[in-house]
């Protein structure tokens, strides 16, 4: 065992042990504790949990790689603007109002605001979005285990499945929340330490965000030397239409992701829900302002070390990643040297997988083995924290919104918890399969989930709060149209399924905004020609818009809401 593997094993074992201990200490026996942690999480802790739930393997493992390699720097701003801008939408337009409504899941809100038919469609949407999203997380787990612990990707995914099952099933949302607080601490320390060290080494400035600006001139010069577009140049790898659509897709998708929205149900109050969003933005910004620096530093080091190197004489880190198939070299001109003139990527002599850039950064910079092991543990923390939140969405949607609300309304809490835990077990098996056979690299898969979230949930949540005449038939038709259109387009245009150029060249990851507009149009059009909601429901929607004025109590047991199920507790 190499020193890197040994240190990785130490950090992974310690962090996994901590996660399982926290989940065991936080174990629950009520549905409220299992689904929303009893609604008692303080705002700073909830903000850290939201950040961990949010900053998935895509953010930790893949985003800096996209910025460095796929988008050539500038294009990566779509991820920074989209994924952070979405939290502003969420905090302003949805979070406090949904917290006031006070339910367990997004389908729960949809069912009580609209109808039971709409609830079932929302369950399908939640499960589809969550499974697409979780595929990227489990794929990231496999990458880390494959490289740093010397096990194959399949076994790595299986180990990750087992760990998530243990701490998610023990503690439900309560255990997941406090585990995610610990996971955020691990991942942010693991991300910042190498960034600070590399910034100091390359620029003499220990603040990566400032060092990033200092190195841009040298990086652009290196790019020009090897025939690459300027690192800071606009629209080198993504045209303006796709850039605008993808930014919007990621923003509205963020505000429509069920595993993020449910986090605001765990807050102690409407006020705490608002502050949870503020804390989450702060915690997220620590990583998101550092990611562009990591991408630039890695690209600079790669261009300094690799071009012109004789094949077989590459640095140790290069060979390590080459052995697991995440770096490939094809000597197209037969000169025995790695040439990168024209680009780094598919079709050139050097192809580097986006998912390795952050994980390989400490090795590329020559940092010691303990830091490399810590970064590996951070990557696992990012992937597992998000996977657990997504799996809980799937579990709660089936156990609460299908089993309890539709099949067996008389089920005891113990029976509901049993169904939830069994569902989570099956969901983990499906997630593992998708992680072993993902439809793309980590961030690409995650971006697809954002498109589905934008196209399915955001319109009916927004209209459900701000347009009291949105009808059940309108919401059901809009969700179905948005999800079906977007999913069909993604399958049609993804390279793994044939790779059509699509409509106007719009990529699979950019189409979610179009699907969202279709959802809005269908929902509003159908609502205009179908019976309006009851007067009591319209009054309730009016009241929900003032989250600081009263707490909403929905005393709902069976079937769709009627006037007797609604009351306002002014406090």
Instruction: Please work out, in degrees rounded to the nearest 5, the angle formed at the alpha carbon of residue 330 by the alpha carbons of 329 and 335.
Output: 105
401: CB partners within 8 A, 6+ apart: 105, 107, 108, 111, 119, 120, 122, 123
Residue 240 has pLDDT above 60, yes or no: yes
Q: Is the pLDDT of residue 523 over 90?
A: yes
For range 65-79, the mean pLDDT = 75
CA nearest 490: which of 471, 509, 473? 509
Q: Where are the alpha helices (DSSP H) in 105-152?
A: 106-113, 116-148
Q: Give the chain's mean pLDDT.
A: 81
Burial class (CB in 10 A: 0-12, 13-18, 19+), 218: middle
- Span 126-137, pLDDT tens digits: 888 888 777 777
Phi, psi of 337, rounded to the nearest 5 degrees: -130, 145
| Predicted confidence (pLDDT) at residue 554 exceeds the cutoff of 60 | no
Residue 470 — φ and ψ, nearest 5°? Answer: -65, 130
Instruction: Report pLDDT digits (tens) over 397-446.
Output: 888 888 888 888 888 888 888 888 888 888 888 888 877 776 555 556 67
Please check the confidence at residue 547 and state whether its pLDDT lies above 70. Answer: no
Over 80: is that where the pLDDT of 553 sits?
no
Residue-wise DSSP of 142-200: HHHHHHHS---HHHHHHHHHHHHHHHHHHHHHHHHHHHHHHHHHHHHHHHHHHHHHHHH
Measured CA to CA, the distance from residue 317 to residue 4 in angstroms comes to 11
How far is 59 from 409, CA to CA, in rounded Å?
Answer: 40
In angstroms, the Cα distances linking 468 to 113, 471, 524, 534 are 10, 8, 11, 10
For residue 517, what pLDDT is reported? 96
CB 124 within 8 A of CB 107: no
Distance (Å, rounded) from C-alpha 467 to C-alpha 309? 62
Q: What is the pLDDT of residue 548?
A: 57
Q: From 106, 132, 121, select the one nearest 481 (Cα to Cα).
A: 121
Mean pLDDT, rounded, for 199-219: 89
Please give the average per-residue pLDDT across 364-376, as a whole number. Answer: 85
What pLDDT score was predicted for residue 430? Answer: 85
How many whole angstroms separate alpha carbon 123 and alpha carbon 119? 6
Task: Express each pLDDT in 147-157 by its tens digit.
Answer: 777 777 788 88
Quick one: how many helices (H) and strands (E) in the chain? 24, 4
What is this structure's pTM?
A: 0.78
- Residue 6 and residue 14 in contact, taking contact as beta carbons nearer than 8 Å: no
Q: What are phi and psi of 408, to 5 degrees?
A: -140, 80
Residue 566: enclosing H or E segment and its boundaries? strand 566-569
Say if residue 354's pLDDT is above 80. Answer: no
For 494-559, the three-class secondary structure string (H helix, E strand, C coil) is: CHHHCCCCCCCCCCCCCCHHHHHHHHHHHHHHHHHCCCCCCHHHHHHHHHHCCCCCCEEEECCCCC
Tell me: the pLDDT tens digits for 314-324?
A: 888 888 888 87
Q: How far is CA 106 from CA 127, 231, 413, 552, in A?
A: 11, 41, 20, 16
Residue 472's pLDDT is 92
Strand partners, 328: 351
Provide CATH code, domain 3-27+38-300+366-439: 1.20.1730.10
Contact status, residue 326 vs residue 356, Cβ threshold 8 Å: yes
Average pLDDT score over residue span 487-503: 75
Domain residue ranges in the chain: 3-27+38-300+366-439
Contact 86, 256 (CB under 8 A): no
β-bridge partners, 568: 552
User: How large is the greatest C-alpha to C-alpha distance in the chain, in angstroms?
Assistant: 80
Tell me which of 164-173, 185-194, 314-323 is least confident.
Answer: 164-173
What number is the average pLDDT over the span 549-566? Answer: 46
The pLDDT score that the predictor gives to residue 443 is: 56
* Whether residue 516 has pLDDT greater than 90: yes
What pLDDT, on a 0 to 100 scale, did the predictor assign at position 346? Answer: 47
Rounded to whole angstroms, how far apart are CA atoms 96 and 558?
26
Q: Which residues contact 325 (CB under 8 A, 6 or more apart)?
A: none
Of residues 142 and 525, the one with the higher pLDDT is 525
Q: Is the pLDDT of residue 26 over 70?
A: yes
Task: Kindly state the DSSP code that residue 266 receives in the 8-state scheme.
Answer: G
What is the distance of C-alpha 242 from the center of its chain? 20
Tell me the backbone φ, ψ of residue 351, rounded to 5 degrees.
-125, 120
Residues 6+ apart with CB under 8 A from 2: 369
In order of 126, 136, 396, 428, the CA distances from 434 in angstroms are 16, 8, 20, 10
The stretch 494-516 carries a mean pLDDT of 80
Confidence of residue 359 (pLDDT cuts 50, 70, 90): confident
pLDDT value, residue 1: 60
Is the pLDDT assigned to residue 334 strictly greater than 60?
Answer: yes
pLDDT above 90 for 481:
yes
């Amino acid at each position: 065992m190499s020193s890197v593997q040994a240190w990785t094993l130490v950090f992974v074992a310690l962090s996994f042990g901590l996660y399982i201990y926290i989940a065991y200490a936080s174990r629950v026996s009520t549905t409220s504790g299992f689904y929303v942690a009893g609604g008692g999480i303080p705002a700073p802790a909830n903000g850290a949990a939201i950040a961990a739930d949010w900053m998935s393997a895509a953010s930790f493992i893949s985003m800096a790689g996209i910025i460095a390699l796929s988008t050539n720097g500038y294009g990566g701003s779509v991820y920074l603007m989209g994924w952070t801008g979405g939290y502003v939408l969420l905090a302003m337009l949805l979070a406090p109002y949904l917290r006031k409504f006070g339910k367990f899941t997004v389908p729960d809100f949809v069912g009580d605001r609209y109808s039971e038919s709409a609830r079932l469609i929302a369950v399908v949407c939640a499960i589809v979005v969550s499974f697409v999203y979780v595929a990227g997380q489990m794929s990231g787990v496999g990458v880390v285990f494959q490289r740093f612990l010397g096990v194959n990707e399949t076994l790595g995914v299986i180990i990750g499945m087992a760990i998530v099952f243990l701490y998610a099933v023990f503690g439900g949302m309560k255990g997941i929340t406090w585990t995610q607080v610990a996971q955020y601490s691990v991942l942010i320390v693991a991300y910042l330490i190498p960034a600070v060290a590399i910034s100091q080494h390359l620029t003499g400035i220990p603040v990566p965000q400032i060092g990033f600006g200092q190195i841009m001139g040298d990086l652009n010069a290196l790019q020009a030397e090897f025939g690459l577009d300027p690192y800071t140049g606009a629209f080198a790898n993504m045209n303006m239409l796709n850039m605008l659509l993808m930014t919007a897709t990621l923003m509205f998708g963020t505000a429509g992701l069920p595993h993020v929205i449910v986090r605001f149900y765990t807050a102690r109050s409407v006020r705490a829900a608002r502050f949870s969003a503020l804390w989450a933005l702060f915690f997220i910004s620590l990583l998101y302002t550092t990611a562009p620096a990591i991408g630039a530093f890695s690209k600079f080091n790669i261009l300094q070390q690799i071009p012109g190197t004789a094949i077989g004489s590459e640095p140790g880190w290069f060979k390590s990643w080459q052995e697991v198939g995440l770096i490939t070299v094809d000597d197209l001109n037969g000169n025995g040297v790695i040439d990168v003139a024209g680009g780094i990527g598919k079709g050139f002599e050097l192809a580097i997988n986006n998912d390795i850039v952050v994980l390989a950064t400490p090795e590329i910079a020559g940092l010691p083995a303990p830091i490399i092991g810590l970064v590996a543990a951070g990557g696992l923390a990012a992937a597992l924290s998000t996977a657990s939140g997504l799996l809980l969405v799937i579990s709660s949607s089936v156990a609460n919104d299908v089993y309890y609300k539709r099949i067996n309304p008389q089920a005891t809490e113990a029976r509901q918890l049993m169904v939830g835990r069994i569902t989570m077990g099956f969901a983990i098996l499906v997630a593992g399969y998708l992680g072993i056979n993902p439809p793309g690299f980590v961030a690409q898969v995650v971006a697809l989930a954002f498109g589905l979230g934008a196209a399915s949930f955001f319109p009916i949540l927004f209209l459900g709060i701000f347009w009291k005449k949105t009808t059940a038939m309108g919401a059901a038709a809009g969700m179905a149209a948005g999800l079906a259109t977007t999913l069909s387009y993604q399958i049609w245009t993804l390279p793994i399924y044939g790779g059509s150029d699509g409509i106007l060249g719009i990529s699979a990851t950019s189409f979610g905004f179009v699907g969202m507009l279709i959802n809005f149009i269908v929902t509003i059009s159908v609502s205009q020609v179908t019976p309006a909601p009851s007067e009591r429901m319209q009054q309730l929607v009016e009241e929900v818009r003032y989250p600081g004025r009263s707490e909403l109590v929905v005393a709902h047991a069976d079937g769709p809401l009627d006037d007797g199920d609604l009351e306002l507790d002014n406090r």
